[in-house]
A and B are shown apart, each in its own frame.
Chain A
């Protein structure tokens, strides 16, 4: 019996050791694999324990913040202004992050370099991980005005301050409510109007006659064109059997300058031939239309252009985003200089002080000052009595140009407007407006003018 007891003891001891080793196997060796599993409910819980940072607009208005439930101690994300969704984006435990919430996720979560003491306190004392805050260049009231003006339309509006390049408003419509994202995700993702797409930065559109400013500036810059060039009497064009009309009355249009202010397409076909391919492509590159701009939010570009002659009507393989066109508008506002973009004006780590962010990149010369100013002068005329007269604001010096583009095969039209408003001698506000599926040439210009007026009120 003693021998059996001894053997039994050894067997039990081995089994207990096996159990101890298996505990070690799961809790040490397989730990990271298990803890990182998608179905680990602790991941969501750990995320909800983070006091995520606040996103402010340029005046300190709260655009997104995390509030603590006193009972559970967990944080939930609040989005008091759904109008800023195109910029702020979303934060969802199920669908991840988008917009600024994604671009600055590490800062907002507090994932930056912390002291050893802080890290130990987080791991061993479950100290709440507090994230950093972000101040945007966005102006909430300008954003809300732009959003309200686009209500009912699909389109985009971007407002930039010149020469700083601060994004005052960036709107994509239709949009979504980030606070109700989890509940509506299926509908949003399946919606044919694509509310989750940021049309401002990622929507690629045919420029149509809005490209005329770039073409004209390129021609003036290289002295291949002159404003007094006379033109042939045919003013409108046909694209795939669809009419591409002038944006304003074509009465008395006899020079290239007049064709530009009325945004008539046909005269530019001849003009582009005069400029020449290489200079045209160089101009497109200099205006930043061949590459996505340096920007915090994901941005698109159609890339290289192969069918240069078709550029005259803006109906080629060159596609542009509203953001790119806003930079074109800014170039004319700033005498040929494209400002670098800035969306985040400052950030601060938890408990730290605000650190100002510089714009991404440097001002770039797009075109000579003389050529830019000449086109800008015509833009002022276009607002006075040309293609963009709906953008006029009493008491303000608004310049602009509106155009029309035919989209794809289905024969619908998009309306464009680019323009700027001089706030003072050396400061302006630039805007680009795109409205999908409209033949009304004045709609985009009208929205652009009202947005400029709203922005001028907050950006004196």
Chain B
């Protein structure tokens, strides 16, 4: 394994995990998706030409791999184990503030997963800090459409989460 790939994976592993969490609620399948995305990235990185930022390129690969994951699981019936209750990855908590934040994160994730596909992609790319231009290049939408979709999705999310701010 190339060292540069390991560095990239270590630098962006949180981001890859968040993309997986956007599309997959089941913890076992989420882990599987993280692995699939990382592998796709490993295959794609040698073709990175610097036409966008590395983060934008990684997000494009990751979202497309997640789309593949959804398509695959549509045609493969899930086992009972895979259909188990969704549980988010939660670190041990001990303060009231932490518990409240965990609840908000869980609400945010549940709301994001209920969004239509395009809105879900656009809003999560925004939450990763991408510009409208970059979101448009990853999603394939126009910049104007990104703006409209994002405003609508943001409104839905803010309504569904308690006291965010």
Asked whether A and B interact, the reply is no
**Taking beta carbons and an 8 Å cutoff, which residues of B are in contact with A?**
none
**Taking beta carbons and an 8 Å cutoff, which residues of A are in contact with B?**
none
